[in-house]
């Protein structure tokens, strides 16, 4: 094993064979943190975004926070109920993309795919950035380095996901359940102290007055409608990640659809409870947030004051656990970790969707294949690269990133629900069984209600966020859409070009002219000569490019001494260049007959060390790369193993032997599935 393989195995673990794919399937207790961590973690920043937006109206704005939260909870309930129908109808993992493609056509499928790919990237950027912002409650020294820290965390998450879904899911389960326990426990203890013990709890910002921005002060007329729409659309960030379960149905254990639907129900119950609890406690404790960029600020006794920004979760944990510091640190730690790990939802959704799109020819084929850990490694790397770029550009600023967020997911929600109504309508035309018809009619009603709700939210999101940054997300979706269409056109064009015609399989070359590249008279060259002879070409000639007269005369003399009966043609090169004159010669002997072939034989050293590759074969590599673009020219590399090649062979044999001994690989090839081989008597 070389150094590169050693580092890779240390980071991502041992290889897994295709036969071990079943071992990576997830039970519900692991699937919940794997696929629902994004939606659950939004509890940590969606309430903040509602309160930050309402602060633009001053003190009066906070009175509407619970109405906004209730509206968001209703939409989440509708979306989850709708997706429960999707996972039963389309369990293959295509999710919204498959629903739209099958029921509305490929163009709508690409619209959904573009929206989801962009939204997955934003999910990683927003989640990790929010985690960094919450981490500043315990680590103030992070101030000013948020973008760099977020980028490092994305790389760590990428490495974890390269280890595979099952292994990363087991690792992420503990902090996800810890976050749920922390938030629900904090809510229960806070409500008990307020209503059971009669304790008067005040958040650190309760003593301040919030002065809003002039356009929204007093919430009057159109300004009130605009602000409420903005607050609602920001709060709808709580719904992101719901669709990931419909994309990840193949990763569940059997029965896949039922387990996915159950996980969706658990997600909705827990997320709505946690989200509502945070908003309720914020109202009861007088918690306030301000948006300095939007124009709101704190005042005390009529005098503006500046205080360090602290998230709603940080303020509530500090207030409720004022006599129990361990509780505060537990909640903040779990919040910080879950926000980092929430990106795991996207790391599972993006590669699967990318694989399906690659299978259909809309993304590079490399995204369709699994890596040696049975994860879609190329998709994971692509997602991480895009997310790192975003957090560095925006310096992990959640308020800026959130403006780009949500648009994509509600595009996919709306189109998917429309597709599901078409799905049920189409099947009702042919279904005769009364029970199944009744089930389909109920499902169509649910999806129709979901379509109405998500459609209204999409309009609100676009109208309220477009000028604040959502237009960038729409532009990114358009670019991805056009790119995928272009890739698909390229693949279709290539398929037409390389399709086998009626005579292609039987049409032999009429004449083959063999050309041997000569740089020295040595064993590799003699092997190339003998191989060219064995092919019985129509004509054979050797070509030497002269860059030094003395050396050329020596090579010609040695060639004549070998009595090879093959002519050696010397090409003059006054500018001491090898590749150009050789290519021009090959081009000159090409005939206009499309059935004529020129076959160029290039001797090549096989070496055993990386540094030897720099010292040999450079001219041959360049020639091969250029000759591949010549019509009617074939290139044959004639390898000659130097003594050092035995080291490379030894390394390859050791790696093969290790793979053979590895559980789940050698046994599978022997056909015994892990049983001890029978002894010969």
Residue range 124-155, pLDDT digits in tens: 888 888 788 777 767 777 777 888 888 998 88
| Cα 659 from Cα 157, distance rounded (Å) | 27
Burial class of residue 171 in the structure, from the number of CB atoms within 10 Å of its CB (0-12 exposed, 13-18 middle, 19+ buried): middle
Same-domain check for residues 177 and 227:
yes
| Cα 120 from Cα 342, distance rounded (Å) | 11
Residue range 340-361, pLDDT digits in tens: 777 777 887 788 888 888 888 8
Same-domain check for residues 612 and 662:
yes
| Per-residue pLDDT at 478 | 94
| Cα 347 from Cα 160, distance rounded (Å) | 10
Question: Could you tell me if residue 47 is inside a domain?
Answer: yes
Same-domain check for residues 602 and 643:
yes
The answer on pLDDT for 667 being more than 70 is no
- The pLDDT-based confidence of 601 (bands split at 50, 70, 90) is very high
> Do β-strands 596-606 and 633-641 pair in parallel, antiparallel, or remain unpaired?
parallel
Same-domain check for residues 463 and 526:
no
| Cα 56 from Cα 213, distance rounded (Å) | 5
Q: Going along 492-612, which residue ranges are E strands?
A: 511-518, 539-546, 568-572, 596-606
| Per-residue pLDDT at 7 | 46
> Could you please report the per-residue DSSP string of 274-289?
HHHHHHHHHHHHT---
Question: Could you tell me if residue 680 is inside a domain?
Answer: no
Same-domain check for residues 174 and 85:
yes
Same-domain check for residues 467 and 601:
no
| Per-residue pLDDT at 670 | 35
Domain holding 603: CATH number?
3.40.50.620
Distance of CA 433 to the CA centre of its chain: 42
Weakest mean pLDDT among 5-19, 156-170, 570-584: 5-19
The range of the structural domain enclosing residue 516 comes to 511-666
Question: Could you tell me if residue 5 is inside a domain?
Answer: no
Same-domain check for residues 475 and 536:
no
Same-domain check for residues 114 and 174:
yes
Question: Could you tell me if residue 499 is inside a domain?
Answer: no
Same-domain check for residues 123 and 207:
yes
Cα of first residue to Cα of last residue in the chain, in angstroms, is 36
Contact of 185 with 316, CB cutoff 8 Å: no
| Per-residue pLDDT at 502 | 67
Q: What is the mean pLDDT of residues 240-268?
A: 81
The number of residues making up the chain comes to 681
More confident residue, 316 or 40: 316
- The pLDDT-based confidence of 315 (bands split at 50, 70, 90) is very high
| Cα 481 from Cα 292, distance rounded (Å) | 36
| Per-residue pLDDT at 506 | 61
Domain end, chosen from 443, 459, 491, is at 491
Domain count across the chain = 2
Give the CA count within 13 Å in the CB-facing half-sphere of 402. Answer: 26
Extract the tokens encoding 563. 């009595």
Weakest mean pLDDT among 11-25, 57-71, 90-104: 11-25
Same-domain check for residues 87 and 171:
yes
Q: What is the mean pLDDT of residues 17-42?
A: 66
The answer on pLDDT for 244 being more than 90 is no
Question: Could you tell me if residue 6 is inside a domain?
Answer: no
Contact of 384 with 26, CB cutoff 8 Å: no
Domain end, chosen from 456, 491, 526, is at 491
C-alpha Rg value of the chain to the nearest Å = 33
List, in sequence order, every residue forming a beta bridge with 640; answer none if it has no partner. 605
Residue range 606-627, pLDDT digits in tens: 877 777 777 777 888 888 889 8
Extract the tokens encoding 216. 């929204």
Give the CA count within 13 Å in the CB-facing half-sphere of 367. Answer: 22
> Do β-strands 303-305 and 297-300 pair in parallel, antiparallel, or remain unpaired?
antiparallel
Distance of CA 398 to the CA centre of its chain: 20
Give the CA count within 13 Å in the CB-facing half-sphere of 104. Answer: 20
Question: Could you tell me if residue 674 is inside a domain?
Answer: no
Same-domain check for residues 533 and 457:
no
Weakest mean pLDDT among 148-157, 257-266, 289-298, 554-563: 289-298
Weakest mean pLDDT among 20-24, 74-78, 338-342: 20-24
195 cis-preceded (ω within 30 degrees of 0):
no
More confident residue, 90 or 505: 90
Domain end, chosen from 460, 491, 522, is at 491
Weakest mean pLDDT among 193-197, 246-250, 415-419, 509-513: 246-250
Mean pLDDT score across all residues of the chain:
81
Domain holding 284: CATH number?
1.20.1740.10
Question: Could you tell me if residue 101 is inside a domain?
Answer: yes
Question: Could you tell me if residue 634 is inside a domain?
Answer: yes
Same-domain check for residues 518 and 560:
yes
| Cα 9 from Cα 162, distance rounded (Å) | 11
- The pLDDT-based confidence of 477 (bands split at 50, 70, 90) is very high
Q: What is the mean pLDDT of residues 633-654?
A: 79
């Amino acid at each position: 094993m070389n150094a590169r393989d050693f580092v890779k195995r240390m980071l991502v673990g041992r290889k897994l064979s295709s036969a071990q794919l079943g071992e990576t399937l997830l039970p519900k207790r692991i699937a919940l943190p794997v696929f629902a961590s994004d939606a659950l973690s939004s509890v940590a920043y969606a309430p903040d975004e509602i309160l930050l937006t309402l602060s633009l109206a001053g003190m009066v704005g906070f009175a509407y926070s619970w109405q906004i939260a209730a509206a968001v909870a209703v939409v989440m309930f509708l979306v989850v109920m709708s997706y429960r129908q999707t996972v039963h109808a389309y369990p293959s993992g295509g999710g919204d993309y498959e629903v739209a493609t099958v029921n509305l056509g490929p163009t709508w499928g690409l619209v959904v795919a573009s929206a989801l790919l962009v939204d997955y990237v934003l999910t990683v950027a927003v989640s990790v950035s929010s985690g960094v912002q919450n981490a500043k409650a315990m680590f103030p020294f992070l101030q000013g380095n948020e973008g760099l820290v977020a980028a490092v965390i994305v790389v760590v998450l990428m490495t974890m996901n390269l280890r595979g879904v099952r292994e990363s899911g087991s690792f992420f389960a503990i902090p996800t359940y810890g976050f749920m326990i922390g938030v629900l426990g904090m809510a229960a203890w806070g409500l008990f102290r307020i209503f059971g013990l009669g304790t008067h709890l005040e958040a650190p910002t309760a003593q301040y007055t919030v002065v809003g921005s002039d356009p929204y002060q007093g919430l009057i007329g159109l300004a009130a409608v605009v602000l409420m729409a903005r607050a609602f659309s920001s709060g709808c960030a709580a719904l992101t990640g719901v669709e990931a379960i419909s994309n990840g149905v193949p990763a569940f254990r059997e029965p896949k659809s039922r387990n996915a639907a159950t996980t969706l129900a658990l997600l909705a119950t827990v997320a709505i409870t946690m989200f509502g609890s945070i908003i309720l406690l914020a109202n009861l404790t007088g918690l306030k947030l301000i948006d300095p960029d939007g124009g709101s600020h704190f005042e005390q006794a009529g005098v503006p004051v500046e205080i360090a920004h602290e998230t709603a979760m940080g303020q509530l944990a500090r207030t409720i656990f004022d006599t129990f510091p361990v509780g505060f640190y537990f909640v903040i730690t779990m919040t910080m970790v879950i926000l980092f790990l929430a990106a795991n939802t996207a790391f599972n959704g993006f590669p699967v969707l990318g694989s399906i799109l690659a299978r259909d020819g809309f993304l590079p084929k490399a995204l369709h294949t699994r890596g040696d850990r049975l994860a879609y490694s190329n998709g994971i790397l692509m997602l991480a690269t895009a997310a790192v770029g975003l957090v560095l550009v925006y310096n992990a600023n959640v308020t800026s990133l959130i403006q780009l967020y949500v648009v994509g997911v509600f595009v996919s929600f709306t189109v998917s629900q429309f597709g599901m109504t078409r799905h049920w309508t189409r099947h009702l035309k042919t279904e005769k069984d009364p029970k199944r018809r009744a089930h389909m009619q109920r499902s169509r009603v649910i999806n129709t209600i979901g379509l109405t709700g998500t459609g209204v939210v999409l309009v609100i999101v676009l109208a309220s966020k477009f000028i604040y940054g959502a237009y960038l997300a729409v532009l990114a979706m358009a670019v991805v859409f056009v790119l995928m269409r272009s890739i698909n056109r390229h693949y279709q064009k290539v398929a037409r070009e390389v399709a086998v015609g009626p005579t292609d399989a039987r049409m032999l070359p009429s004449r083959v002219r063999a050309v041997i590249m000569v740089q020295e008279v040595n064993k590799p060259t003699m092997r190339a000569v003998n191989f060219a002879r064995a092919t019985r070409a129509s004509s054979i000639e050797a070509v030497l490019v002269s860059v030094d007269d003395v050396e050329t005369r020596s090579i010609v003399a040695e060639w004549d001494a070998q009595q090879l009966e093959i002519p050696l043609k010397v090409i003059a090169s006054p500018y001491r260049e090898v590749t150009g004159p050789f290519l021009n010669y090959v081009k000159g002997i090409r005939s206009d007959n499309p059935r004529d072939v020129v076959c160029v034989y290039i001797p090549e050293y096989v070496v055993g060390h990386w540094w030897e590759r720099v010292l040999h074969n450079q001219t041959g590599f360049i020639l091969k790369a250029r000759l591949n673009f010549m019509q009617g020219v074939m290139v044959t590399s004639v390898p000659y193993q130097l003594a050092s090649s035995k080291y490379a062979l030894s390394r390859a044999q050791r790696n093969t032997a290790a793979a053979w001994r590895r559980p789940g690989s050698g046994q599978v090839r022997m056909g015994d599935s892990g049983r001890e081989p029978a002894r010969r008597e």
